[in-house]
Amino acid sequence: MRSLTTLVTFIPCCVLFAACGGSEAFTPVTTGKNLKVAALTAEEDCLTCMPNLLEGVLGRQTPSELKAGILSVELLRSPFDTEPHVLLRNDQPIITDLVAGATFVDVDVGSIPPGSYPLMRVTLANTRFAVDATAHVPFAGGDHAGTLAVDYALSDYDDGELGPRTQGEYHADFDSSEFRMPLDSSQAVNWPAPYPGAVVDTSGGLYRVTFLSPEAVNVSHSMPQAVDVGVTFHIDDSFAWGEREGAANQLGTFDLSPNPLEGEPPVSLGISGFSIQVLAVAGEPVGGEAGSEPAPEEATADDAAAGGDAP
């Protein structure tokens, strides 16, 4: 069984209410210490993840490959932060291999306004994954065991290859040695919350995952820390479908059929849950004489300002 993990640095949250948002500019500096956000794999189960919380007779499968398109990554000072600091934003999604693991943010901490950030929000455009399936097609040789490759739109966005996409639609291609067929349909993006370690919001045509942590990302320019952020995209049994009786259907196999009464409907498409890990390297003073220890910076209304990075 597999699930995915990624890393970041956190320390206690907004002490001052005024530090939980801001709009004033700040001056970026170069510290040589970077904040990195990456997706990694880990061997662990997630019993509280979807689809384990779903009811009914379900078949389940862990995708053999899974990629996610990332539109933006933001740091928030509070759940009510209306001007989060934008670490990454793109019109076209950055396709990230969640199984192999990949770093998708790498910035100098001096480019981030000083302060405490207990929340990180990632907006996903789509998922691409592959699962085993069997197509039952009497007019094309009967039963065909093969692979179903799915591209599922989690948000409204413009895709460089597929064009404008609407949240919930998916394009799939079934491929076997003897038979191929495309499948286009839709599945509402309404997976239940809360997930372990994150809250998911699908309103407004966007799929936003807000990662929660008992600590906060603490940014200081005088005592900078190199920060590795680990976010976990759980994929254990993350593809699930409703089992149906059919002349050729088999329990535990995702069965495709041109007969809508026998083809099995997907229920969960690609990601079943989220969590986060944090790792920070000890801070080192910038400038000054050896042995001097500048006092850590406190988050103030001025320091916490995100400037022009507001979405």
**Assigned domain for 193 exists:** yes
pLDDT at 18: 37
pLDDT at 9: 34
**Assigned domain for 306 exists:** no
**Assigned domain for 267 exists:** yes
Rounded CA-CA distance 276/198 in Å is: 8
pLDDT at 50: 54
Look up the domain containing 27 and give its range. 3-301
pLDDT at 287: 41
pLDDT at 162: 87
pLDDT at 244: 86
pLDDT at 53: 53
Number of domains in the chain: 1
pLDDT at 122: 95
pLDDT at 49: 56
pLDDT at 54: 58
pLDDT at 55: 57
**Assigned domain for 241 exists:** yes
User: Which residues of the chain are under the pLDDT cut of 70?
Assistant: 1-24, 40-57, 190-196, 214, 281-311
pTM assigned to the model: 0.79
**Assigned domain for 155 exists:** yes
Beta bridge partners of 150: 129, 172
**Assigned domain for 170 exists:** yes
Q: How far is CA 31 from CA 13, 204, 220, 223, 279, in A?
A: 22, 37, 10, 9, 18
**Assigned domain for 174 exists:** yes
Checking DSSP bridges between strand 239-242 and strand 180-186, what pairing results, if any? Answer: unpaired
pLDDT at 298: 35
**Assigned domain for 311 exists:** no
